[in-house]
Each structure stands twice: as C-alpha cells, then as structure tokens.
C-alpha cells in the first residue's frame, strides 16, 4: 500500500491565504487508482483507510473500551488522531492539543459501498452442466455492465471463533454470460431485458451436480483458513479489470467503485493533511465513511445509524466536556457529504437540466435539490465556496432536470439525525452505478484540495 496522499505545498496553502488556481498533480490520481484496485469491498476499503491513517500517526480506539483520560494508551482517547472501525465503516478524527471541549467538528462524509452482486447464504448452484454462484442484487447497479466481464470475488469471512478474515480472489473467477444475438434477434431494436433472478447468476466452472460447500471451501483454502472454520460470510463480485487512464492525453480515468471510494480516498488525504497542520485548527477535522448508502443507510454501519453521533459525543465527553459542550459543538458543526454526481452526457444532454451541465475536470460539484434530496442550502453553499476559493479550486452546481427523479445521499440523513448543517458535494462522473465508471483525471485531485481547505477551516 502506498503512503497516504499528502497535498504538496502548492496544493495546501497557508490557511490564511487565498491562492491562484491549482496546477494538476497526477500523483493523487495515480494513488486513487491504487486505492480502487486494492478495495474491492467496503471491508477492504476501510482496512486500507486505517492503514493509511496509522502511517500518518492515527491509532485505533475500540468502541468497547472506556474513552477517558485513564485510557491506557496515551494520549487520551478524545485527543490526537484516532479512528473507529466497524465492519464496512470507519470514523476518524483529529483533536489538536488544547482544543476546547465545545469546539465544533468539520466532517467529510462519504460511503464505502457500491452497487454490485452479492453471494447468497446458499451459494452453490448450477444447471445444464454449469457450476454457478447464487447471487443477490445489491443496490441499483446497471445490470448490463456486469455481463461478459471477468469477475473476481472478495469480502469478509466470519470464523467459528468469532474473528473475521478478509479474502480477495482478484483474478478471473466468474462470468455472467450474455445471451448470443442469434438467440435474441431483437435485442438491439427492443433493448436488453434482464431478469435479476434468472439472468444474473454467474458461472464459475463445469459440473453436473451442485456440491454444497464448494465455494466456501475454495475461499477457506484461498484465505488460509482451516476447513470448516468459516460459519458466515459477506461476499461480493467485482471486476478484475484495473483502473486505467483513458483518452488521447490521459485526461480521463476509468475504473470501478468511484461511487463512492473516490470521495473516501479524497477524504482520507484531506484528513491526514489537516492533522499534519497540527495546532491552531479552529475545528476538529473528521472523516466519516459509512456502509450501506446504496440501500438506504439503515444499519449499524450506515449514516442513518448511531455510529457518527456516538463517536462525536464520546470524543467530547472523553475530553472532559459536558452535555452543554456537546450541544455547542454540534450546533457549530458542518458536514460536507461528498458523493459522485452526474456529468453532462454527450449522448443524452437532454436528460440534464438545460442550465446546469457539470463537466468533467471542471472541479467538484455543489448538489442542490429544493425538496431536500440533497441537504445544501444557501449558507452551506457559502461554506463550500469559501473552501474552494481558499484552495484555488473551481466548482460547479448540479441540479436535476425537473422531469427526472432526483437521487439522494447521506447528506439529508446526517443533517436530520444529528442536527448538523450539511452540504452535498462531489465529483461529476459518467456511467454511475456501472461496474466501471468514468471521471476526469483532475477532478479527484481538485476535490481532495477543496476538502483539505474545508477541514483546515
């Protein structure tokens, strides 16, 4: 795993200074490609974030331990650089020495999950001499993007002793074969129609009989786990094609899971840069990367769960703060909910709002919806505009075509659940929810610098 991305001096100006427009540093995007390839599941993503944070001096605190000045590992749990890891979610924060108990937080919110195919409780299936893996559809993927693609399998294995083990078969293992055009002559005229149950089950070998336990036995062997020790699993399919630059001048980036690991990566870089700035920060910088955004966020690791609020409250109380300090801190807190949005599509421009056409490499987008599908309001826009101005980063506005239903994010959930002012932003991409998405090569770098300026206040 490469070192955490730290914006260069040119990319992280003194907090009091406004800057000229940034010069693109491709090193950030190179590192994003490494991160995407190493993070086929939310569990791998948070493990990689934790590794980067630890290299930057952060340390893990356990939710089951007491967070007080008597915590055995110095410094106290409320100060310094810390993180809590729970399944596919991670909350990390940095409290400079001497920070007042009522100091507000500045939060970068993101999510670690992406739409995909996930393995069912009885995974071994097959028919007509084909060995197959039974999968369920997670979130809202573009189903056709998973057809005829070399697929690996990764996730989390739960063992008999209560521990877990990550596993990643990052080679061509499965394939969802499309029906040949000779057997579906009208497909190009009438469109491809896929039944989620019948047409999306991948093949992974040959055999007349279904052998229960074969897939898990294969994964036990792959992960070096003794036979019969795996009693539970959270497994998902991923494309093994690595991220790659695209275009004449490599001005585009194609890759998997940009929605929303692009924001997780940028938020990690921003948090480590803000922590490196040390004392003098007017706010406490936080990274909150949740799981299960793609299916509603209602879980113990989702944005609609108690994880973020519990961590922030315990941070205040561990530093000796009172409930009044907690209330004051939350009242002054701002969250940037960073998620991907829609770039104007060259072949479907009419699907976009006629006066809002976000372009790739035009800088991050500010996402607005008056029906609160996004949490941005005018005061939030000012906060984000100030951060972009300070960082020398251009930004764009996104609003949906009035005739098109608008998606949503963790932004409104965060605002409503915690009473925190929240602003929805992100990077404009094409092919959202595809197995392979597309963005501008500069935009991840621009987003990271805007987030750094925001966290530094």
Q: Residue 102: CA atoms inside 13 Å, Cβ hemisphere, count?
A: 8
DSSP class of residue 380 equals H
Residue 258: strand, helix, or coil: helix
**How far from the centroid of its chain's Cα atoms is residue 1's Cα?**
18
199 is in an annotated binding site: no
433 is in an annotated binding site: yes
29: its two tokens? 């995007």
Q: Taking Cα atoms as reference points, which of 272, 278, 286 lies closest to residue 56?
A: 272
Q: Taking Cα atoms as reference points, which of 276, 298, 293 lies closest to residue 285?
A: 276
Q: How many CB atoms lie within 10 A of CB 225?
A: 19
Whether residue 22 contacts residue 443, with contact meaning beta carbons closer than 8 Å, is answered with no
Whether residue 127 contacts residue 356, with contact meaning beta carbons closer than 8 Å, is answered with no
DSSP class of residue 147 equals B
238 is in an annotated binding site: no
Which run of H or E residues covers position 360?
none
Q: Taking Cα atoms as reference points, which of 108, 88, 113 lies closest to residue 337?
A: 108
DSSP string, 396-407: EEE---TTS---
Q: Taking Cα atoms as reference points, which of 140, 84, 145 lies closest to residue 290?
A: 84
Residues in binding site for Zn(2+): 111, 182, 433
Residues in binding site: 111, 182, 433
């Amino acid at each position: 795993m490469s070192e955490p991305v730290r914006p260069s001096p040119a990319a992280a100006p003194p907090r009091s200074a406004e800057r000229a427009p940034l010069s693109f540093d491709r090193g950030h995007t190179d590192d994003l490609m490494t991160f995407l390839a190493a993070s086929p599941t939310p569990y791998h993503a948070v493990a990689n974030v934790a590794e980067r944070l630890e290299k930057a001096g952060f340390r893990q605190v356990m939710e089951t331990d007491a967070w007080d000045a008597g915590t055995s590992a110095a410094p106290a749990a409320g100060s310094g650089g810390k993180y809590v890891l729970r399944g596919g979610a991670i909350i990390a924060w940095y409290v400079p020495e001497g920070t007042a108990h009522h100091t507000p937080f500045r939060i970068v919110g993101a999510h670690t999950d992406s739409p995909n195919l996930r393995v069912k409780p009885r995974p071994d299936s097959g028919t007509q001499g084909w060995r197959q893996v039974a999968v369920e559809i997670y979130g809202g993927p573009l189903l056709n993007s998973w057809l005829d693609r070399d697929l690996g399998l990764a996730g989390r294995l739960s063992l008999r002793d209560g521990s877990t083990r990550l596993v990643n078969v990052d080679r061509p293992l499965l394939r969802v074969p499309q029906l040949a055009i000779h057997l579906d002559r009208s497909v190009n005229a009438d469109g491809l129609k896929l039944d989620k149950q019948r047409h999306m089950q991948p093949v992974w070998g040959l055999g007349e009989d279904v052998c229960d336990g074969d897939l898990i036995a294969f994964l036990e062997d792959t992960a070096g786990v003794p036979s019969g020790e795996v009693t539970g699993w959270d497994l998902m399919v991923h494309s093994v094609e690595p991220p790659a630059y695209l275009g004449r001048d490599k001005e585009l980036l194609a890759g998997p899971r940009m929605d929303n690991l692009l924001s997780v990566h940028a938020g990690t870089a921003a948090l480590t840069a803000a922590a490196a700035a040390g004392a003098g920060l007017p706010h406490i910088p936080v990274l909150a990367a949740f799981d299960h955004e793609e299916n509603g966020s209602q879980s113990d690791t989702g944005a609609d769960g108690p994880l973020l609020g519990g961590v922030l409250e315990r941070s205040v109380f561990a530093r000796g703060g009172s409930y009044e300090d907690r209330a004051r801190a939350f009242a002054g807190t701002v969250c940037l909910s960073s998620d991907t949005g829609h770039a104007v599509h060259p072949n479907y421009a009419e699907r976009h709002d006629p006066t809002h056409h976000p372009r790739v490499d035009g800088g991050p987008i500010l996402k607005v919806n008056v029906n609160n599908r996004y949490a941005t309001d005018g005061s939030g826009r000012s906060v984000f505009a100030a951060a972009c101005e300070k960082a020398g980063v251009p930004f764009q506005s996104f609003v949906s075509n009035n005739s098109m239903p608008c998606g949503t994010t963790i932004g409104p959930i965060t605002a409503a659940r915690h009473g925190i002012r929240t602003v929805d932003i992100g990077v404009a991409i094409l092919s959202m929810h595809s197995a392979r998405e597309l963005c501008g090569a500069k935009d991840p770098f621009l987003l990271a610098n805007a987030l750094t300026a925001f966290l530094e206040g």
